[in-house]
């Protein structure tokens, strides 16, 4: 039995726990404002709000219902556009209308839900990030951007940390929201008995795209609730619970204080809704050769703590975890429990680069990360990683070995490019030819140094090297 609250209604259902939340909303409850679009988490037409209790505090975030297994709604408050409607337009709906930010209207409910989630959030993020996963194909985005910025201005008059109460008081949220926290506490806790052949699903953002029918038929392993999702600092390392979502990882105060550069790059990693759902460990075990977070974590010399069913643990370096295309060093019954990497030193510089057909919401053709320490123009330590140039996310061990201890100068980089080209083995696919990928990784490698050391190397000199075609195609 699955229990949750859908808008103002308590739900108890025996529906297959791997079935789609989107289908349950539309087909079983006839709430048709949540639209069926791409079914891949790209368009945002199926966006809903997920309210959950964290340390007895109710918080909301936007998610795509098409990639949410029904079991993941257990104990949550799921809010569709119908659950936000009142006798008068909310400020979000009014901003959309006043700015002519709707035309055919198919995408509009998703935008309204996402922007309402932005108002409910205590984060001071860019309002356009809150709708980064919502696509409109007929209105044009300027009117939507104006509406989003108007909504963002309203955050200034809400009491931070008490957004729900403030919005109810101002008539911006339906009155029934006042009872949700108590009603969630009254739901029966999730009971779980493990059966063989179950599928462990974190956020569902990958498996619900690749094998939705298999997910629907199989019983979903809900033991993921026992996977830690907090971050702590111990023995000089940041220890990250494998169940943490991408958004919680990026917004964690400890990560923000110790790894300040990360927030610069996270808009390149999926949309707000997907980051709110997808887990860090899920991105790793997906083993995509171009997984953005895997590439970043490789450059941080990350280690994984794996645990089997008996509780026995072992550690593996992330650089050795990827064995071959979509093959990983994870034995039967094992799962990732923790993700660990050293706290970047004050002298550590970090950069991430990505080339894709679209800047945002797209899969990389080639991506790359660099973590480096330079003292007195000598490369003291370096970790360079790249995706899209091999069958696995690749830690560039030979290139790193060559560069460590060398003087940071153009001649060093020229020779390093030769080492790099001998270390990669790209293939031609839908995202580009192997020749194109060789060119891209060459340019991204130089771009790291151009961005981090323009004064040392000379901007003009690096640019000149970038346009010199010294690559065996």
DSSP string, 136-190: -SSS-HHHHHHHHHHHHHHGGGS-TT-HHHHHHHTTSS-GGGGGHHHHHHHSPPP
Comparing CA positions, the residue from 215, 117, 207 lying closest to residue 164 is 117
Residues of the chain with pLDDT under 70: 192-198, 221-225, 469-473
Residue-wise pLDDT for 52-84, tens only, equals 998 889 999 999 999 999 999 999 999 999 999
Ramachandran category for residue 156: left, alpha or beta (phi over 0 → left; psi -120 to 50 → alpha): alpha
What's CA 330's distance to the chain center, in Å?
A: 22
Residue 21: CA atoms inside 13 Å, Cβ hemisphere, count? 34
Q: What are 264's two structure tokens?
A: 């610069």
> Integer distance in angstroms from the first to the last C-alpha of the chain?
58
Residue-wise pLDDT for 366-385, tens only, equals 999 999 999 999 999 999 99
Domain boundaries, the chain: 2-186, 353-381+396-466
- Say how many residues make up the chain: 473
Written as one string, the DSSP assignment of 371-425 is EEEEETTEEEEEEEEEESSSSS-EE-HHHHHHHTT-B-SHHHHHHHHHHHHHH--
Q: Are 212 and 124 in contact (CB under 8 A)?
A: no
Q: Are 227 and 241 in contact (CB under 8 A)?
A: yes
Q: Are 329 and 284 in contact (CB under 8 A)?
A: no
pLDDT recorded at residue 113: 98
Burial category of 310 from C-beta neighbours within 10 Å (exposed 0-12, middle 13-18, buried 19 and up): exposed
pLDDT recorded at residue 4: 97
- The rounded distance, in Å, linking the Cα atoms of 267 and 88 is 34
Fold adopted by 353-381+396-466: Enolase-like; domain 1 (3.30.390)
Average model confidence (pLDDT) across the chain: 91
Q: Are 25 and 41 in contact (CB under 8 A)?
A: no
Main-chain phi, psi angles of 249, to 5 degrees? -65, -50
Structure letter (DSSP) for residue 463: H
pTM: predicted TM-score of the whole model, two decimal places: 0.91
* CATH, domain range 2-186: 3.10.20.30
Q: What are 75's two structure tokens?
A: 């104990």
């Amino acid at each position: 039995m699955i229990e949750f609250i859908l808008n103002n209604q308590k739900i108890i259902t025996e529906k297959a726990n791997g079935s789609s939340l989107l289908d349950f909303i539309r087909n079983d409850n006839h709430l048709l404002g949540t639209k069926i679009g791409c079914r891949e988490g790209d368009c945002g037409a199926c966006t809903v709000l997920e309210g959950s209790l964290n340390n007895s505090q109710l918080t909301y975030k936007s998610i795509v219902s098409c990639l949410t297994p029904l079991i993941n709604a257990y104990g949550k408050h799921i809010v569709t556009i119908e659950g936000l409607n009142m006798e008068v337009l909310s400020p979000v709906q009014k901003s959309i209308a006043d700015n002519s930010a709707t035309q055919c209207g198919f995408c509009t409910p998703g935008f309204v839900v996402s922007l309402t989630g932005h108002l409910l959030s205590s984060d001071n993020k860019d309002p356009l990030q809150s709708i980064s996963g919502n696509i409109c194909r007929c209105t044009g985005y300027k009117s939507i951007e104006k509406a989003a910025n108007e909504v963002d201005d309203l955050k200034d008059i809400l009491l931070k940390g008490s957004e729900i109460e403030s919005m109810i008081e101002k008539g911006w949220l339906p009155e029934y929201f006042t009872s949700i926290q108590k009603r969630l506490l009254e739901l029966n806790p999730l009971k779980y008995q493990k059966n063989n052949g179950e599928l462990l699903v974190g956020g569902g953002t990958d498996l619900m795209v690749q094998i939705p029918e298999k997910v629907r038929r199989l019983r979903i392993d809900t033991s993921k609730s026992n996977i830690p999702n907090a971050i702590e600092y111990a023995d000089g390392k940041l220890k990250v619970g494998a169940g943490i979502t991408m958004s919680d990882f990026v917004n964690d105060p400890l990560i923000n204080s110790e790894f300040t550069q990360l927030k610069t790059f996270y808009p390149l990693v999926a949309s707000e809704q997907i980051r709110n759902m997808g887990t860090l460990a899920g991105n790793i075990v997906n083993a995509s050769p171009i997984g953005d977070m895997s590439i970043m974590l490789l450059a941080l010399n990350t280690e994984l703590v794996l645990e089997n069913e008996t509780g026995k643990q072992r550690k593996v370096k992330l650089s050795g975890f990827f064995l071959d295309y979509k093959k990983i060093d994870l034995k039967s019954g094992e799962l990732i429990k923790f993700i660990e990497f050293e706290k970047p030193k004050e002298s550590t510089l970090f950069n991430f680069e990505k080339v894709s057909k679209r800047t945002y919401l797209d899969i990389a053709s080639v991506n790359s990360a660099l973590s480096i320490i330079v003292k007195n123009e000598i490369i003291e330590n370096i970790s360079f990683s790249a995706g899209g140039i091999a069958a696995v996310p690749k830690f560039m061990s030979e290139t790193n070995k060559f560069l460590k201890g060398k003087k940071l100068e153009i001649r060093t980089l020229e020779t390093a490019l030769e080492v790099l080209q001998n270390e990669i083995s790209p293939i031609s696919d839908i995202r580009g030819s192997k020749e194109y990928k060789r060119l891209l990784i060459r340019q991204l490698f130089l771009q790291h140094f151009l961005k981090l050391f323009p004064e040392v190397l000379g901007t003009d000199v690096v640019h000149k090297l970038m346009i010199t075609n010294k690559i065996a195609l």
